[in-house]
C-alpha cells in the first residue's frame, strides 16, 4: 500500500478535508497533528479529536465515496501526509468490496475441516480463491437429484434458500444465506464422471452462491485425497544417492559462465538421460556467486512444475559442483527463432510460447520467487515442443523489493537499471520484451551501434515502435501490440500483472484467449507449433557441437580447493 501513496505537506491552519465534500482520498499521518472537528450530523455530533503520526482518516472514501462527515485541519506548523486516492487504490488492489468478499471466502473455506486439516500452502489457498465462481439459480430449479450425476464441489450460499431431501437418511432441511453445501461430494475421489447425488435439492427462493468445483480444487492441489488430513512428511525430491560414477558423459550441450552442461546417461538405468550442469568452484568463488548457486539449487529443489526444469540431484566432488537435470531435447527457443525467416515466429506460435512462460513465471511468483533473467536463451523446448524455463541462477525469494542490478541488459526493466527496487513486475517487463522479440525478430529497445549505456537510456526514457506490414513486410496483431505495450509500461505499479487483477490480467488478456483456458498449457492439451523429430532419448541434434572443448575436458586435472573456500560450499 505504501508504494502506491504519495507524500503531501500541509501547514498549520490548512484544511485537509471539508465536511460535506465527496470523499475520494485516504490519508495517513506521517508527521505532525491534525484536528477532527464538527464531527457527525445533526444530533449525532461528537467531540473534537486530535490525530497524530501513524493514525489514518478518510478510509470510507476507498469504499463508498460518501460525503465527508467532519472537517480535518492541520494544527502543527508542518504536517506530513501519505495520500492515496480511490482510483489508485482500486487500480492496484481492486474494489475494497471485492477484497472484503475475498477475505470472507478465505475464512469460510478454511473453516471447513477438510480444508483446514489439509494444511494447504498460502499460494494454494490464493489459487483456490482465484477459481471461486459465482453461480445463480432461479426459484423452482432442481440442482441435484438422487442417483443422477452432479457436479462435485463446495458452495457457499450468499442469497436465497434451498430445500434438501434425503429419503434414505430420512432428512429434510433448508440451506439459507451463510450455509455451505457440497462438502460431502468431495469425499468421493473416484472418476468425476462416476459421481452420483444421494439427495434432492430444490431452490425455494432465488439463489446466489460462490462455487469452488472439484476441477478447480484438483487443478490446484492435485488430488482430493489431500483434503481432510495433514500432508505427509516428505523428504527432498532430490536423489541423494546419485554420484558422478553413476553417470556416463556423452557430449557437451552448452557452455555457461562457470561451467558446462553435459548430456549424460545413468549407467544402471540407461533409459534415464540427463543434462548435467558442471560448475567450477574456484570460478564461482572468484565472481562472488557461491550464495547464488546454492540459492539456485535450493529453489529448484523446492519446485515441481512441468514448465520449469526439474532438478533430479545435486552433489559436489573435488573442484566441481554438479546439478543433474532433466534433458530437454528441443534446444533453445532462441535457436528456433534463428532458423526462421525474419528470426521471428507466427502470432499463434508466440501465443503458445508466451503462455508457457507466463505459467512458469506465475508458478514462481506465487512462491515469492522472482526469476530476473527471462530471455529466449533461458527457454528450452522439451520433446513435445513445450517451452521450459531453465537457469535460475538469478532467481531470488523476495517478499518486497530487491535492489541488486542483474539480468541481461536488453531485457532489464527501468526500475532494475535505476536501482529503485524491483519485484515481480520486473519479470513482467522481461516477458514483454520476449514477446516483442518473438513477433518482430529483435528486442524492443535494441538499435544499431547500441552500447550498454545507450540501451539503458532507451529503456528508461524512450519508447519503442512496432513494424508495419506496409513498410516492413510484417506486423503485430492489435491484441499482441496491446499486451506488449501494457507489459512494457515504464512504471511497475501500472504494468500489466502488477495492478489489481495480478497475473490473471495477463492470462486473461485477449491475446491469450484461445490458449489459457483452465490450465490447458500446464496439462499439455495443446499441440506445440514445432515438435522436434528425435531418433532416441540421447538425440541431441538440436544443440550446438562442442567437439574441441570435449577433447580438452578429457585432459582436465582436478584442482585442490583451499579449505576456507571449500567451507563456503558446505550447504550445496
Please tell me the predicted confidence (pLDDT) of residue 258: 79
Query: CA-CA distances (angstroms) from residue 219 to 122, 213, 222, 566?
Result: 15, 10, 6, 43
Confidence of residue 42 (pLDDT cuts 50, 70, 90): low
Highest mean pLDDT among 47-61, 134-148, 514-528: 134-148
- The class level of CATH for 244-328+544-567 reads alpha beta
- For 268-318, write each residue's pLDDT tens digit: 999 999 999 999 999 999 999 999 999 999 999 989 899 999 999 999 999
Topology of domain 2-92 in CATH is: Jelly Rolls (2.60.120)
Q: Are 40 and 48 in contact (CB under 8 A)?
A: no
Q: What is the dihedral of CA 120, 124, 126, 132, to 10 degrees?
A: -100
Decide if pLDDT at 377 tops 80: yes
305 membership: H or E segment, kind and range: none
Bridge partners, residue 263, by sequence: 251, 275
What angle do helix axes 478-487 and 424-440 make, rounded to 10 degrees? 150
Q: Where in the chain is the domain with CATH 2.60.120.10?
A: 2-92, 97-226
Closest CA to 506 of 437, 429, 436: 429
Q: Domain 332-519: give its CATH superfamily.
A: Transferase(Phosphotransferase) domain 1 (1.10.510.10)
- For 341-358, write each residue's pLDDT tens digit: 889 999 999 999 999 999
Please tell me the predicted confidence (pLDDT) of residue 410: 95
Closest CA to 383 of 544, 535, 264, 545: 535
Confidence of residue 3 (pLDDT cuts 50, 70, 90): low
Residues making up the binding site for ATP: 277
Q: Are 458 and 411 in contact (CB under 8 A)?
A: no
Please tell me the predicted confidence (pLDDT) of residue 171: 82
Q: Which is catalytic among the residues 373, 382, 391, 427?
A: 373
Question: Is residue 373 flagged as an active site residue?
Answer: yes
Would you give the DSSP letter of residue 397? E
Give the percent of the chain with pLDDT over 70: 95
Residues in the chain: 572
Please tell me the predicted confidence (pLDDT) of residue 439: 96
Q: Where in the chain is the domain with CATH 3.30.200.20?
A: 244-328+544-567
Q: What is the dihedral of CA 186, 188, 193, 199, to 10 degrees?
A: -80
- For 74-106, write each residue's pLDDT tens digit: 999 999 999 988 777 777 666 666 766 777 888
Lowest mean pLDDT among 283-287, 397-401, 458-462: 397-401
Mean pLDDT of 440-463: 92
Mean pLDDT of 322-329: 97
Give the percent of the chain with pLDDT over 90: 59
Q: What is the CA radius of gyration of the chain?
A: 29
Specify the CATH number of the domain 97-226. 2.60.120.10
Please tell me the predicted confidence (pLDDT) of residue 455: 94
Please tell me the predicted confidence (pLDDT) of residue 97: 66
Q: Is the dihedral of CA 266, 312, 219, 187 positive or negative?
A: positive
- For 462-497, write each residue's pLDDT tens digit: 989 999 887 777 789 999 999 999 999 999 988 999
Query: CA-CA distances (angstroms) from residue 463 to 414, 425, 484?
Result: 12, 18, 12
More confident of the two residues 2 and 141: 141
Please tell me the predicted confidence (pLDDT) of residue 43: 58
- For 101-128, write each residue's pLDDT tens digit: 777 888 889 888 899 888 888 888 988 9
Mean pLDDT of 181-188: 88
Please tell me the predicted confidence (pLDDT) of residue 461: 93
- In the predicted model, what is the mean pLDDT of the chain? 89
Please tell me the predicted confidence (pLDDT) of residue 62: 67
Lowest mean pLDDT among 67-71, 240-244, 492-496: 67-71
Please tell me the predicted confidence (pLDDT) of residue 381: 98
More confident of the two residues 525 and 536: 536
What gap in Å lies between CA 552 and CA 549, rounded to an integer?
5
Amino acid at each position: 500500500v505504501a508504494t502506491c501513496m504519495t507524500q503531501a505537506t500541509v501547514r498549520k491552519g490548512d484544511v485537509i478535508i471539508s465536511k460535506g465534500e465527496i470523499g475520494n482520498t485516504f490519508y495517513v499521518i506521517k508527521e505532525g497533528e491534525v484536528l477532527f472537528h464538527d464531527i457527525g450530523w445533526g444530533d449525532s455530533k461528537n467531540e473534537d479529536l486530535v490525530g497524530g503520526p501513524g493514525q489514518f482518516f478518510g478510509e470510507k472514501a476507498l469504499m463508498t465515496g460518501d460525503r465527508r462527515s467532519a472537517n480535518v485541519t492541520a494544527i502543527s506548523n508542518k504536517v506530513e501526509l501519505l495520500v492515496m486516492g480511490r482510483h489508485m487504490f482500486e487500480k492496484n488492489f481492486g474494489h475494497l468490496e471485492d477484497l472484503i468478499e475475498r477475505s470472507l471466502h478465505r475464512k469460510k473455506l478454511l473453516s471447513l475441516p477438510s480444508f483446514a486439516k489439509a494444511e494447504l500452502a498460502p499460494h494454494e489457498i490464493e489459487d483456490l480463491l482465484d477459481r471461486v465462481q459465482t453461480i445463480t439459480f432461479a426459484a423452482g430449479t432442481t440442482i441435484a437429484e438422487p442417483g443422477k450425476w452432479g457436479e462435485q464441489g463446495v458452495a457457499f450460499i450468499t442469497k436465497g434458500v434451498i430445500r434438501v431431501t434425503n429419503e434414505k437418511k430420512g432428512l429434510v432441511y433448508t440451506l439459507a444465506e451463510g450455509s455451505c453445501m457440497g462438502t460431502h461430494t468431495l469425499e468421493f475421489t473416484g472418476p468425476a464422471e462416476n459421481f452420483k447425488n444421494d439427495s434432492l435439492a430444490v431452490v425455494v427462493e432465488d439463489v446466489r452462491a460462490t462455487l469452488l468445483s472439484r476441477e478447480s480444487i484438483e487443478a490446484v492441489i492435485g488430488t482430493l485425497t489431500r483434503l481432510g488430513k495433514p500432508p505427509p512428511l516428505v523428504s527432498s525430491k532430490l536423489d541423494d544417492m546419485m554420484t558422478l560414477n553413476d553417470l556416463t558423459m556423452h557430449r557437451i550441450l552448452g557452455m555457461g559462465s562457470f561451467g558446462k552442461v553435459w548430456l549424460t546417461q545413468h549407467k544402471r538405468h540407461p533409459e534415464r538421460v540427463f543434462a548435467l550442469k558442471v560448475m567450477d568452484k574456484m570460478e564461482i568463488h572468484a565472481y562472488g556467486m557461491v550464495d547464488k548457486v546454492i540459492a539456485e539449487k535450493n529453489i529448484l529443489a523446492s519446485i515441481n512444475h512441468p514448465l520449469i526444469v526439474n532438478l533430479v540431484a545435486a552433489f559436489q566432488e573435488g573442484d566441481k559442483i554438479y546439478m543433474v537435470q532433466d534433458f530437454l531435447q528441443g534446444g533453445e527457443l532462441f535457436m528456433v527463432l534463428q532458423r526462421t525467416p525474419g528470426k521471428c515466429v507466427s502470432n499463434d506460435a508466440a501465443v503458445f510460447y508466451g503462455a508457457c512462460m507466463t505459467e512458469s513465471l506465475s508458478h514462481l511468483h506465487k512462491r515469492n520467487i522472482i526469476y530476473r533473467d527471462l530471455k529466449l536463451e533461458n527457454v528450452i523446448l522439451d520433446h513435445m515442443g513445450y517451452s521450459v524455463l531453465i537457469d535460475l541462477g538469478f532467481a531470488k525469494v523476495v517478499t518486497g523489493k530487491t535492489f541488486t542490478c542483474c539480468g541481461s541488459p536488453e531485457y532489464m526493466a527501468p526500475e532494475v537499471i535505476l536501482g529503485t527496487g524491483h519485484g515481480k513486475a520486473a519479470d513482467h517487463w522481461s516477458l514483454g520484451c520476449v514477446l516483442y522479440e518473438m513477433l518482430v525478430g529483435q528486442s524492443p529497445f535494441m538499435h544499431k551501434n547500441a552500447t550498454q549505456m545507450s540501451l539503458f537510456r532507451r529503456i528508461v526514457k524512450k519508447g519503442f515502435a512496432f513494424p508495419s506490414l506496409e513498410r516492413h513486410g510484417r506486423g503485430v496483431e492489435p491484441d499482441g501490440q496491446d499486451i506488449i505495450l501494457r507489459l512494457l509500461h515504464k512504471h511497475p505499479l501500472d504494468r500489466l500483472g502488477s495492478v489489481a487483477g495480478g497475473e490473471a490480467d495477463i492470462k486473461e488478456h485477449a491475446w491469450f484467449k484461445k490458449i489459457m483456458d483452465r490450465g490447458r498449457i500446464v496439462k499439455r492439451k495443446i499441440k506445440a507449433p514445432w515438435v522436434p523429430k528425435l531418433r532416441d532419448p540421447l538425440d541431441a541434434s538440436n544443440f550446438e557441437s562442442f567437439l574441441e572443448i570435449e577433447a580438452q575436458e578429457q585432459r582436465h586435472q582436478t584442482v585442490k580447493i583451499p579449505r576456507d573456500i571449500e567451507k563456503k560450499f558446505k550447504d550445496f
